[in-house]
A and B are shown apart, each in its own frame.
Chain A
């Protein structure tokens, strides 16, 4: 059943231009919905196969690797594929929202087309076993995401999309340079070949420069502090649905790439033993955890608040990576999953709010607890997840990260992880107090709950509760991926 492997990317990729031709709002909606659900079904089947019978390999166009392009699915990227496709399947039914530029111009099909392209790109980056192919798909997803961001409610979205484009292109270029240098050293682009040949040339300066370019390029895409500047603007100006999708998938795929290059291509021994990546990445991660959260506390707009919180959450993921231990890496990978649920859900809640209030400023949230009770409750639960309250998915991530810290014999690091999560209490409770303790403006019209985005938001938020208790699947897969990455038995 390796035929499923290319379908994972081909379905959304081919569907995108068809969607452009459909034009009609409803047709495009139904068609793209069918496509993302089919894509999701494929990713479920793939993960099932990988867990059951080990990695899958597919040679594109019948050209055997390493000469042709190989698509390779193992536990790690099957998990990421499932997350990306799953989030798309939940987010897309929300539609673009009435406020966005695409809806104002009556050209929703642009949104659906860009969405499918972006999805195809992200899935391609994840599934491919070819380093150059990574770059190609990365550019597809990036270009599509610039379009998606520019569909925001007002003209500021253009500026945000443009600066995102500049930074994103720099990141993409760095990655390309890194891949080029690695190719120069090894003569191959196939990841497995790279993994076999790079260890022989790790003492060469070119190899180290290749790694540096790759890491920094990916770090830009991942919004690692201090390379995060593009993220708050992009997420806060994009339509909330787009923010939900990008925050739950874009940075996650970048994180996957970093893990892939560090652990399976360059090798943990080289990266941590010779280059001491942890000495740089760990302080930066801790800085991101604290500064991102502190910046979130001072925001006056809900979307910006969540965007800064994302920077802090990326800090947790990279912290897990920098620990280079099974528990730490499990924490990082499971947080990739959990954060996708939480932040996707929270941004969808914002989409609900924006749909009814036509504003995401915090001051307009006064009395929201009475005006939109379900939406507000969903936000609070999602926020509790960000804090890491037990019973929510966020707790599971913190659990493994703290265990990873203890494994390094660092009670201080464990304490810092927990301390930083308290900052989330502060920014969440600002909103709770606004929503529940303050009366809405006297002239505020009565409003109903949002129509299309409420159910997707509730699905994701409910999932954060579910995966806070039933961790066997999420943390189990993350753990087996981490064990495999650390060189243990699968």
Chain B
């Protein structure tokens, strides 16, 4: 199949999947197979496309002329394919997990859930493939609206209020800042296209450039840069599979991906590095990293803790983008994949714990590792990846980010990265330690006295359903696999650093023999 057809099939699969789910809503098994079929077909298409793009192809597909200077168009490039690959690849385990979770939890409105889920993937892929700012914005807003019913799935007062915060922040930042930035970019440069090396250089003054960067950085609210991060913890009211896929992968990564894409293809690394207009953004990102980590330390609710950890980890990517050095950009792009796989595992684990033993607070998890060894083992692996230890994927992205900070001579930021790693040990390791090394408190903690088990049997296995446990083990294994796949990722992502300092040729020669 030609690349154009593959793009259409990749985008069409989730759409048709959503339609299929909606039509087969009365037959749960058939409905779930629709989701899986769509996920598989999407994944196959995206994988094939990744192969082509890694080989240097840049397929392009124009659909409709929206405005005289902007069309609805897709053009594939390495960064977008990375994000698309992450979203499509993780959709399969998440679908399996969601089926196990939603059934195990006896959730209502499952058809609506799976429809919106597929539509969200469609939105994410649209963002990943977009050839210009207008297409990106269109899918960005679509993703916000498609995920709203997922976030408010429970339909309770609490869900409604969370939905208000979610929609309120995401819509107002995107319409108020992002759209303004996009239109201003188009007005001053005469184009909305993403181009390697950027389009702004020489077209705007430094002051205006700084203003635009600010509008982009805060306007892309999905990147959860402080102070526009409140929607992310609020959205944790959603069912866990939603938190897992959308708030570890699709939605938040859509945000940081957009930031990175704008930096690389609108501003251009060279322009940012030569004018220094992004220095303030580095410090905003650094502050977000530290503050969110400290907040995470203080959260007892496991999902809330993971949410703040996400806020902190997303700021790594913004930091890498703001550095605009070769290693910074490559590291930031890599971190999209590394963090996604790690964080989705952690969310899966949190959900599995909830399904198996109805625990949501960290302080209730004493000794749970003996009953859920697979789950908590995966939690440990993913935590180490988030912290950034080898042989796990997270090690590479942190390495490159630190290197990027050094290249940019921002030594304070290296310290920030190190402190943040320590902080992430501080908020993730206690969970593992409690689970494995603290004895369960009789009858209150891991014991299920209300179910009438005698204490002796509490040490027995009580994992979540297999549909929950297998996906989380797979993604945990993915954290390890990514460590060894890093050179491939690195060579695919190198074109992003065109124009950044140090020059790609020197940079590539120095790294990863």
Contact = CB atoms under 8 A, between A and B. Distances in A.
Given A390-B137, A422-B175, A425-B171, A469 B183 contact: no
A437 B155 contact: yes
Given A388-B175, A472-B65, A425 B180 contact: no
B66 interface: yes
B129 to A, nearest CB: 16
A415 interface: yes
B132 interface: no
B164 interface: yes
A415 B176 contact: yes
A471 B164 CA distance: 31
B160 A433 contact: yes
Given A402-B179, A429-B164, A437-B160, A422 B187 contact: no
Nearest to B134: A390
Contacts of A399: 67, 183
A421 interface: yes
B255 to A, nearest CB: 17
A422 B183 contact: no
A384 interface: yes
A388 B172 CA distance: 12
Nearest to B157: A437
Given A384-B145, A419-B176, A422-B172, A402 B183 contact: yes
A411 B186 CA distance: 13
B176 A389 contact: no
Nearest to B68: A479
B176 A422 contact: yes
B326 interface: no
B183 A406 contact: yes
Interface string A430-473: 00010011000000000000000000000000000000011110
A437 B138 contact: no
Contacts of B1: none
Interface in B348-385: none
B64 interface: yes
Interface string B91-130: 0000000000000000000000000000000000000000
B40 interface: no
Contacts of B145: 384, 389
Given A406-B187, A414-B184, A425-B167, A390 B141 contact: yes
Given A389-B145, A422-B172, A433-B160, A403 B167 contact: no
A462 B66 CA distance: 17
B152 interface: yes
Contacts of A419: 176
B179 A471 contact: no
Interface in A119-167: none
Contacts of A407: 187
Contacts of A391: 138, 141-142
A475 interface: yes
B123 to A, nearest CB: 11
Contacts of B142: 390-391
Contacts of A421: 175
B273 interface: no
A403 B68 CA distance: 12
Contacts of A387: 171, 175
Nearest to B66: A471
A426 to B, nearest CB: 9
Interface of A: 384, 387-391, 396, 398-399, 402-403, 406-407, 411, 414-415, 418-419, 421-422, 425, 429, 433, 436-437, 469-472, 475, 479
What are the nearest 5 A-B pairs in CB distance?
A: A390-B138, A406-B187, A437-B160, A402-B183, A390-B141
Interface of B: 64-68, 72, 134, 137-138, 141-142, 145, 152, 155, 159-160, 164, 167-168, 171-172, 175-176, 179-180, 183-184, 186-187, 211
Given A411-B211, A414-B180, 16 more contacts: A384-B145, A387-B175, A399-B67, A402-B180, A402-B183, A411-B184, A415-B180, A418-B176, A421-B175, A422-B176, A425-B168, A425-B171, A429-B164, A433-B160, A437-B159, A472-B65
20 contacts: A390-B138, A391-B141, A398-B179, A399-B67, A403-B186, A406-B183, A407-B187, A411-B211, A414-B180, A418-B175, A418-B180, A421-B175, A422-B171, A422-B176, A425-B171, A437-B152, A469-B64, A469-B66, A471-B65, A479-B68
